[in-house]
């Protein structure tokens, strides 16, 4: 169900702000943004409606709001947009992909390292037929505040260690009910078969940045393969 414009704009602000800060967002913080053109009372009412609709929740009695699974899914499906990654990241990816004719283990390992460093997420390349994964960034992502809770850290570490078992079920951008987010795209290698590039982290991960980077890497590989075939 599509939300009306004012609800959508406030939900969009809350999710983006929460992704940046990991702090619940108050109606006062929203009202500081004059672009909304709504009174603090109206904003509070809209936030309450978003609560009741299942898009937001209140972590603490007197705190602001944070997105629910449903809120993140709405953001992913309706609000986020693709943006060109930073030029340094693009240059590094281009350099790696130009060497795709070299040892694939080295290329996939380097690609995973650069992707993880750029996104600060657990990122990598998986070879579906062999259930092999070249992954980096687990120590970095476990520094996120969500993983200060031992149970969440253990669950994500287990998810990362066994990601080869679930790669086949990935579908572009997912909000996992366990409290995780995953962005992925598929490509086909003539020798290795179906492969997937992925980035994973807490639900609060920056889906736009991750999706844009993963898409760029995937398209870069596809373009390089087409160019190689023409030679």
Tokens of 112: 């995973």
Read off φ and ψ for residue 155, nearest 5 degrees: -65, -40
Structure confidence at residue 100 (pLDDT): 74
By the 8 A CB rule, do 30 and 43 touch? Answer: yes
- pLDDT tens track for 48-72: 999 999 999 998 776 799 999 999 9
Write the CA distances from 113 to 108, 135, 181, 201, 225, integer angstroms. Answer: 9, 7, 19, 15, 21
Using pLDDT thresholds of 50, 70 and 90, give the confidence band for residue 31. confident
Average pLDDT over residues 33-38: 72
Distance CA 219, CA 216 (A): 5
Structure confidence at residue 47 (pLDDT): 94
Which domains are seen in the chain, by residue range?
Answer: 5-79 (1.10.10.10), 87-230 (3.30.450.40)
Using pLDDT thresholds of 50, 70 and 90, give the confidence band for residue 226. low
Structure confidence at residue 89 (pLDDT): 94
When mean pLDDT is compared over 95-104, 118-127, 161-170, the highest value belongs to 118-127
Pick from 52-61, 89-98, 135-144, 164-173: least confident: 164-173
Handedness of CA 91, 196, 167, 71 (dihedral sign): positive
């Amino acid at each position: 169900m599509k939300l009306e414009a004012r609800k959508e704009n406030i939900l969009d602000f809350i999710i983006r702000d929460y992704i940046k800060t990991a702090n619940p967002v108050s109606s006062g913080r929203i009202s500081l943004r004059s672009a909304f053109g709504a009174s603090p009372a109206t904003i509070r009412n809209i936030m309450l409606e978003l609560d009741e609709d299942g898009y937001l929740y209140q972590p603490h009695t007197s705190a602001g709001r944070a997105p629910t699974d449903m809120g993140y899914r709405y953001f992913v499906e309706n609000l986020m947009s693709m943006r060109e990654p930073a030029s340094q990241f693009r240059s590094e990816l281009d350099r790696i992909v130009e060497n795709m004719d070299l040892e694939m283990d080295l290329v996939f390992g380097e690609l995973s390292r650069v992707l993880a460093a750029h996104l600060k997420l657990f990122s990598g390349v998986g070879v579906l037929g062999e259930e092999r994964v070249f992954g980096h960034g687990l120590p970095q992502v476990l520094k996120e505040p969500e993983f200060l809770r031992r149970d969440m850290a253990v669950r994500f570490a287990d998810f990362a260690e066994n990601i080869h078992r679930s790669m086949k079920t990935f579908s572009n951008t997912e909000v996992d009910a366990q409290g995780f987010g995953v962005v992925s795209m598929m490509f086909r290698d003539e020798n290795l078969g179906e492969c997937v590039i992925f980035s994973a982290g807490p639900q609060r991960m920056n889906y736009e940045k991750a999706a844009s980077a993963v898409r760029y890497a995937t398209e870069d590989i596809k373009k390089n393969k087409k160019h190689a075939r023409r030679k």
